[in-house]
Structure 1
Amino acid sequence: MEQRDKNIFYIMLFFAMFSWGASWVNVKVLSSYIDEFDMIFIRFGITAITLLPVIMILKKSLKIDLKTFMLALFASIAFIAYMKYFFLGTKFGTAALGGALVTSMIPINTFVILAIFGSRDAKKKDYFALSLGAIGVLTMLDIWDSHLKDILVIQNLYFLFASILWPIFTIISSKSRKISPIVFSFYIYVITVVLDGIFFVDFHAIHYSGFDTIFWINMLVISIVASTFANTVYFLGIERLGAGNVSSFIFLVPFSAILLSAIFLHEHIGISIIIGTVMTLYAVKILNNIKFKSIKHRL
């Protein structure tokens, strides 16, 4: 791959990760219009529709076998549960804390789950990283200056559930190796929309007349930019640049969530969130052996 093409991918990855961080702000805004299941249905319905042309352009096959379909089904169930707690935590809490806490805890929880089931071996450096991550999470929650009852509020528990459910979703999805990740994501979105529509959405109760310009801007950004565009760039980045090069861009997500929450939602960003996020992300770096290359080297 030529350097010019790599540079384009790096720029696209930057915007993709930024849009993932922005999704916390989008959800906070959307939570004043609709509930979590309506958001899931509309968002991923739009995502599935807009992802289909991408699949066609990339000439990916839509064929799926029964085993892969069942994996997509179980992944969709975990995905719906994750999106529920992601939405509720952001609705009742702050987008900044959710974006920082959940996105930095997910890699740590993934490592812990894999270690428990014997898929990863924990070394001394990993125990140090896990301890550092735990301290970072507690710092984000400002436990040092708060009472326990202030920490165990419902929104923080929602964020905790979300940070556990995403690794479960990821582990299930990782078992699918017979089709393209983009195609597998497409089936997850379709199944998610179908399950959500059948079991959770009351279409007659949705106040369509209240969907104004602000609603549609946030819905289209989170559906097309943060899902269709960002996921496509992420998977193509792994395929063409390698997971090692792409993984370091994940660190942009929590900081973009914090920055955009301060700008658009005027949320107060305490120093504890910043310090805790840095500590937790450094723990993630150690756990996953992520190495950073200088911008000059990349560009």
Structure 2
Amino acid sequence: MFYNRSKLTASLYAMMSISFWGVSFVSTKAVLGKLDPYSLLVIRFGIGALFLLLLLLLQRHRLQISIKYVPHLMVLGILGVFVHQVLQATALLTINASAAGWLISFSPVFTVILSVLFLHEKMSLTKAVGMALAITGVLIISTTRSGQSFQFDMNIGFFLMVLSTLNWAIYSVLLKSLKIPYPPLVVTFYMCLLGLVLTTPFIIRNKGWENLSLLNHSEWAHLLFLGVFVSGIAYWYWGKALGVLEASKVSMFLYLEPIATLIAAVLLLKEKVLLISVAGGIIIIIGVIIVNGQLLPMVFNFFKKKRL
């Protein structure tokens, strides 16, 4: 009973993380008009690190960590925070938020590929079909934009977003396999702090602080959301979820991310929803479900409930 309750709690943590990350594309897109990607990330990581530090002090967690695990934290921070966020923020300069949300659901496919390459799992025909479907969905989304023709600068944005999904798959597998013996809140704080340290030289080079005065109240609200809920709470809750559930199970919640992004993009950015883009996103999700071997059980359970 306790185990089931802990699994339910972990699932709620994962769902909240995904919801925050889904909306993050919209908040990032809303601020990129005034700030360059690196300046945005410095402010975001700074707010996130300060928020997490306050939480650590309130919960009386020890900040001291063994030097043995410093390389682990550096690898996770560089991949999961610095590289991941730089890729996504740069991609959002040329693609809209809703497209980014659909593409990020492609991440579980890379998780399967990594498992085949490094964990020696078998590639079945079913997985191959699912991957082909998911890739087809990505191509549909990446070549569609309000009826316009295929453009090279758009390719760069879509390529960077897909690359970020590969990076996230690597991060999730590492976070689970490294087994750092510290609370998720402590791990998240140091990862966010590392992201701040790595991006600070860029805001100095670009003099990004000069544009902070141009931000209005709405854009500052987006930055606070990105710092507190996305860089802070979402990463913290994702680590807590991975502490209970398998990485492959947690990655299933990525199916919900494009839905959160789509709703937020329509409501906050007034983005137009193209039916062909939605179709491409649905194809990605169906393909990912097939890859992870979840389609047949889902269909079976559906008809079983119908009979009952």
Query: Do both share a fold (TM > 0.5)?
Result: yes
Match of 1:87 among 83, 89, 93: 89
Map 1:186-265 onto structure 2 (within 5 A): 186-198=189-201, 201-202=204-205, 204-206=207-209, 207-239=211-243, 246-265=250-269
**In the alignment, what sits opposite 1:29?**
30
CA RMSD for the aligned pairs? Answer: 3.4
* Deviation string, structure 1 residues 56-111 (Cα, Å, up to 9, x no partner): 5666554433342112223333332222221121122100101111x112221232
**In the alignment, what sits opposite 2:281?**
277
Cα drift, residue 11 of structure 1:
5.9
Map 1:5-20 onto structure 2 (within 5 A): 14-20=15-21
Q: Bigger CA drift: 3-12 or 113-122?
A: 3-12
Amino acid in structure 2 at the alignment position of 1:18: S
Map 1:147-166 onto structure 2 (within 5 A): 149=151, 153-166=155-168
- Distance in 2 (CA, whole Å) between partners of 1:162 and 1:149 is 20
Cα drift, residue 226 of structure 1:
2.3
Q: Bigger CA drift: 236-245 or 163-172?
A: 236-245
Cα drift, residue 205 of structure 1:
4.0
TM-score calculated relative to the size of structure 1: 0.82
Q: Bigger CA drift: 200-209 or 21-30?
A: 200-209
- SS of the residue corresponding to residue 178 of structure 1 reads coil
Cα drift, residue 16 of structure 1:
3.6
Q: Bigger CA drift: 209-218 or 116-125?
A: 116-125
- Distance in 1 (CA, whole Å) between partners of 2:215 and 2:205 is 16
Amino acid in structure 1 at the alignment position of 2:90: L
Cα drift, residue 117 of structure 1:
3.2
Distance 1:85 1:10, change over 3 A: closer
Q: Is the 8 A contact 2:63 2:186 kept in 1?
A: yes
**In the alignment, what sits opposite 1:47?**
48
Cα drift, residue 244 of structure 1:
7.3
Distance 1:199 1:67, change over 3 A: farther
Q: Is the 8 A contact 1:16 1:229 kept in 2?
A: yes
Q: Is the 8 A contact 1:46 1:224 kept in 2?
A: yes
Q: Is the 8 A contact 1:111 1:287 kept in 2?
A: yes
TM-score calculated relative to the size of structure 2: 0.80
Q: Is the 8 A contact 2:73 2:187 kept in 1?
A: yes
- Distance in 2 (CA, whole Å) between partners of 1:74 and 1:94 is 29
Match of 1:168 among 167, 170, 194: 170
Amino acid in structure 2 at the alignment position of 1:279: I
Gaps of 5+ in 1: none
Cα drift, residue 49 of structure 1:
1.7
Q: Is the 8 A contact 1:109 1:164 kept in 2?
A: yes
Aligned residues: 294
% same residue: 20
Cα drift, residue 125 of structure 1:
1.9
- Distance in 2 (CA, whole Å) between partners of 1:266 and 1:221 is 19
- Distance in 1 (CA, whole Å) between partners of 2:115 and 2:251 is 18
Cα drift, residue 260 of structure 1:
1.3
Q: Is the 8 A contact 2:94 2:153 kept in 1?
A: no
- Distance in 1 (CA, whole Å) between partners of 2:39 and 2:218 is 17
Distance 1:185 1:289, change over 3 A: farther
Cα drift, residue 214 of structure 1:
1.3
- Distance in 1 (CA, whole Å) between partners of 2:249 and 2:25 is 25
